[in-house]
Amino acid sequence: MNFQLSEEHLAVQAAAREFAQKELKPGVIERDSKMEYPYEQIKRMGELGFLGMMVSPEYGGGGMDSLSYVLAMEEISKVDNSCSVIMSVNNSLICWGLETFGSDAQKAKYLPKLASGEWIGSFCLSEPEAGSDATSQRTTAVDMGDYYLLNGTKNWITNGGTSKLHLVMAQTNPELGSRGINCLIVETSSEGVAIGAKEDKLGIRSSDTHTIMYTDVKVPKENRIGEDGFGFKFAMKTLSGGRIGIAAQALGIAGGSYELALAYSKERTTFGKPIHQHQAIAFKLADMAMEIEAAKLMVYRAAWLKDQHMDYVAASAMAKLYASEVAMRHSVEAVQIHGGYGFVKEYHVERLMRDAKITQIYEGTSEVQRIVISREVTTGKPYLP
């Protein structure tokens, strides 16, 4: 097995790190405190190609592999997770879902705008009663002949207030259960689309999260993705890839926390020596380095499996579950190593700790990942390729 990144991968990693450190880090504390959407930063991410990394060049994207995307997500997430979650949704859920399952006309119409950052997309699955349970959709899309009449409410929608396009899961044939669900492309300028208030969140505060209401929205039939009833499969397949992006985000949070803690431990002195020379701190740093390296191997492997067109369902769930737990555990340790300074915004680690928690929740909670993993490993499917 070759664990050495290619020159192309190293270049992507270096470009993302430079962008994050030079253009995202200045102002990140203020944006987080004021819940300011990072308009200028997202515009730059579009210009640099970070919003359509895996989209084919035919549609204006970078044509890169999943590992390149993961490397960029990791570096950006070390600094600004509001920007990285916007990037994740646009790449993993919207662009990938459209290019993989959309019609030629849908791809030609929407992907160039999404890949360039001219438009940002939202993935609309979660509902007030059902959460992320795609089998229990109360949003309905009634077949009216040449269009669907869409009614319902979606919540916890990332990019909800800024996106121009929604991918909406809705029930068309309730008697068919999950096989009656469709995914519809809804432009937010459509009559009947209403955006709720922005959520005041614990973390990722400058990304916008909203409830979306649909009231008698007419959606043309050509805006349905796939055949009638394909919506549930679309959501499951897309979320499996999305988990890799969130795993990379969690890996970045863990790595960013470690880098800040390590640097601080070399600057701060107690009892006449830098605190990293005290065994209590040295052991914390050792555990952080070890578990981050393990998470990195899991995340990179999941991306590799996806690039090889191999089964990555279990691998992505494992990577997302483990990386998110590592992010939570070691962002807390980074605050602890900083002592009182870790509790103030200036040192960045308290923000990373707050951001870490959401990685255990979205794209399916840690409990959901364990359900996915247990289902995969108990069905007789070999986990290792």
Residues 197/208, Cβ–Cβ less than 8 Å: no
Q: How far apart are CA 137 and CA 125, in angstroms?
A: 8
DSSP 342: G
Helix (H/G/I), strand (E/B), else coil: 91: helix
Longest dimension (CA), the chain: 79
CA distance 266 to 285: 12
In the chain, which ranges are E strands? 121-124, 140-143, 147-158, 165-171, 181-187, 193-198, 209-220, 269-270, 273-274
Are 69 and 11 spatial neighbours (Cβ–Cβ below 8 Å)? no
* Nearest Cα to Cα of residue 137 among 250, 22, 234, 25: 234
237-251 as b/e: b if 16+ CB within 10 A: bbbbbbbbbbbbbbb
- Active-site residues, by number, are 363
Of residues 238, 211, 216, the one with CA closest to residue 225: 238
Write b or e for each residue in 360-379: b if 16 or more Cβ atoms lie within 10 A of its Cβ, otherwise e.
bebbbeeebbeebbeebeee
CA 192: distance to chain centroid? 28
Sign of the torsion formed by the C-alpha atoms of 233, 234, 237 and 240: negative
Number of alpha carbons in the 13 Å side-chain half-sphere of residue 194: 10
Q: Report the alpha-carbon distance of residue 69 to residue 299 in Å, rounded.
A: 11
Q: Answer whether 345's CB lies under 8 Å from 282's CB.
A: no
